[in-house]
Amino acid sequence: MQILLSFLFASLLMLSFVPQGITAQGRDGSPDIKRIMSKGKITVALVNKDRYPFFMTTKGGQLTGFDIDLARDIASRLGVKVEFNRNAKTFDEVIDIVAKKEADLGISNLTVTLKRAKQVHFTRPYLAVKNYLLVNRKGLGSQRGLSVGEMANRRGINILAEEGSSYVDFSSRIFPLAKIVPHKDSERAMRAVLKNEAFALYESEDFIKTLFKNAPELYLYLDYLVVDGVKDTIAIAVHWENLHLLSWLDLYLKTVWPDATIDDILKKYPN
């Protein structure tokens, strides 16, 4: 009995020296998720211009779209409200905002790249999209029998890619001989291709499918070519310190959020 009492006394003495923060943290959760819970909201960074079908503004000024529903569902499952930060003018600026802790997450049709991963963590992808070159049919001429690389990777041609997007890096890597020209307006860039002022516009599957769905007559003048060898996966950006939040989001995307394709999303959010 004496030995047992001595052992219990020693155990209690050791516990009295355990820092209070350790036991509190164990009860209340990790600091990154606890911080969000304490605020009562999670802040999500978005590009400040709409990108159908991921985030759009209704006539009533409300946000809707695939990424918006994703952000709202995440907030709901954490038991907090969602707040959108739309200060970013480009997709790269969304990454900067998350890296500076001005937003908890970046959910903005963000492509995973090695360059961006130097600043933030990315969750597991929740979508994969194909990449295309939108070209003028007349501009193709006798090049019809050539591969996309042979047609586009040539000196003296311009390929347009959205400024601050992953497509500037992708097109520069895939077509190093061509001149890659960043643009700020996809519709204006499309019209430049239509007028033969540029050889091609580098764009994503959702843009191409929406373009021809809304204006099928453009098939008479424009064509699109699949860019092979590109892994364009979309994921959520998280600050590099928030490892538990990253793990929680990975589990959420794996077990709760449904798998989807561009075609699924376009059907769910008709424009």
Q: What is the mean pLDDT of residues 133-142?
A: 86
pLDDT tens track for 18-31: 343 333 444 556 89
Q: Which residues contact 9 (CB under 8 A, 6 or more apart)?
A: none
pLDDT for 214-244, tens place per residue? 999 999 999 999 998 888 999 999 999 999 9
pLDDT value of position 147: 87
* Tokens standing for residue 128: 């994969």
- 168 in Cβ contact with 162 (< 8 Å): yes
Statement: residue 251 has pLDDT above 80? yes
Most confident of 100-104, 136-140, 142-146: 100-104
Residues 94, 111 contacting (CB under 8 angstroms): no
User: How crowded is residue 208: how many other Cβ atoms within 10 Å of its Cβ?
Assistant: 22
Q: What is the mean pLDDT of the chain?
A: 90
- Map out the domains of the chain with their CATH numbers: 11-126+235-268 (3.40.190.10), 129-232 (3.40.190.10)
Nearest one of 102, 198, 110 to 159, comparing CA atoms:
198
In the chain, pLDDT over 70 holds for what percent of residues?
A: 89
